[in-house]
Amino acid sequence: MKNTFGSSVCITLFGESHGEMTGAVIDGLAPGITVDKAFIASQLSKRRPSGKTGTARREDDKFRIVSGVFEGKTTGTPLCIMIPNEKANSSDYALNSFIPRPGHADFTANKKYHGFEDYRGGGHFSGRLTAALTAAGAIAISALNEKGIEIGTHIARCAKINDRKFKDYNKDTEKLNSLDFAVLDERRAALMKEAIEKAGSEGDSVGGILETAVTGLPAGLGEPWFDSVESTLSHAMFSIPAVKGIEFGRAFDCVDLKGSEYNDAFTVKNGRVETVTNNNAGINGGITNGMPVLFRLAVKPTPSVFKEQDSVDMLSMENIKLSVKGRHDPAIIHRARVVVDSLTALVLCDILAQRYGTDWLGE
């Protein structure tokens, strides 16, 4: 029953959706990294719901850093962040504690924890825990930015509406990180918002695709086989609730291409070896080649919908109809993108620490 990820820089999540608080512990983070509380708060605000595109549960996310930071810098000892749950309404779940909601982890959690799990709001499986992940990731993002490494994620597709593709990675990343609704094309952003609101008014939900770009990574990061950059990022990304698929570069397009079309030819540009194209997403043999790392995530529609669905009563073992109550998002994709940035940053800090040493990020 493991809730920790990483080798050199490790992140542990704790808490439940309707428990007293959620939190994260980062262990192995280099000493001397600047901890900007204003930046952490701004990152949390990107995850926070707003308007008709998000849940009515609006937590203030008043985070506390209780260890691992002194005079605004990391100390190198375990850093613990805690975020209280102040707006939980557990009565929405009391009547259906033995009726699993379709698409949720209610049934599987019951089987794993033998009925002792906290079922309220999804308990430990809830997306609420991504608040602590976002706060922890903000510190990792700051450390990477100091090394010239930037991360940006946009909603590439939502409700069958496509955003434009990345053009200038650095400019697009800077723009995305200034937006609450991370879409590069403003017109398409408006259309996506309308589609999300429409699904919500119908008691339903929508999903989509998130696309992430990482620039500034040096060549030579990662390991062959089991700890490749793709393997490690994929492992982490599938830990985010609602992520059901991942693609690096033109992974699925390559099945229809010839090798001569898919290969990224090398060239020297400004005294640096680069590739002419980036179909392999900046990774060869599981190791970074210095080009931008690109990946796309399939995010499923929010499973909590207000339409009547089929379920079972696990006590009486009877088939029943279920109508979900409570406060839920008609889409979580726009809130999830900052979670993707945060977890990506934590993974990269771990990979970089393994390559250059645990103190490198704080130098």
Q: At what angle do helices 333-356 and 37-47 cross, to 10 degrees?
A: 140
Confidence band of 116 (pLDDT split at 50, 70, 90): confident
70-84 tens-digit pLDDT: 999 999 999 999 999
CB burial of residue 37 (10 Å; 0-12, 13-18, 19+): middle
**Once rounded to an integer, what is the mean pLDDT over residues 212-237?**
97
Contacts of 297 (CB under 8 A, 6+ apart): 209, 210, 211, 212, 237, 240, 243, 245, 246, 340
Whether the per-residue pLDDT at 293 is higher than 80: the answer is yes
pTM here is 0.93
CB distance 102 to 4 below 8 Å: no
pLDDT tens digits for range 131-178:
999 999 999 999 999 999 999 999 999 999 999 999 999 999 999 999
Lowest mean pLDDT among 5-19, 24-38, 54-68: 54-68
DSSP bridge pairs for 141: none
- Expressed in angstroms, the distance from the first to the final Cα of the chain is 35
Lookup: tokens for 288:
């970074």
The candidate with the shortest Cα–Cα distance to 59, out of 50, 69, 71, 70, is 50
Helix (H, G, I), strand (E, B) or coil at 351: helix
- Domains identified in the chain and CATH numbers: 4-357 (3.60.150.10)
H-assigned helices in 169-277: 169-176, 186-201, 229-237, 259-262
Instruction: Dump pLDDT digits (tens) for 85-103.
Output: 876 666 666 666 788 888 8
